[in-house]
Amino acid sequence: MTFVTKLSFASGDRDVLAETVQELKSTLERKGAECKGPHATPAETVRVPLYKQLRAGDEFSPWSYDVYKRSMEIHGADDIAREVVGRDFPDSIHVEVEVDQKKPLGHRRD
């Protein structure tokens, strides 16, 4: 059975995100892992209301910032995927990992 490791990255710092994901892709290619991505999605603008007191009422202008996202998939290469998932990423990057198990075509379930 083959495993597909899906990595999702999100950050407010586009430069750090792009550099980190590109470095990761280069590492995967150098080690011979099959990698798809990185895939970018449009930036999402997040708006945070700011109140002058601890309760709703008088407000300052909302604080807004952009969140940039990238995603990648590692096919097979379980040992390399495990190494990648265990590495330390910059604090400004949120990382989510999902592992799917793929069965080869033509195999039947008993």
Domain boundaries, the chain: 2-40+70-102
Q: What is the pLDDT of residues 68-91, one digit of tens each?
A: 999 999 998 888 888 988 899 999
Nearest CA to 5 among 77, 98, 88?
A: 98
- The chain-wide mean pLDDT, for the chain, equals 90
3-13 pLDDT per residue, tens: 899 999 999 99
CATH code of 2-40+70-102, in short, is: 3.30.70.600
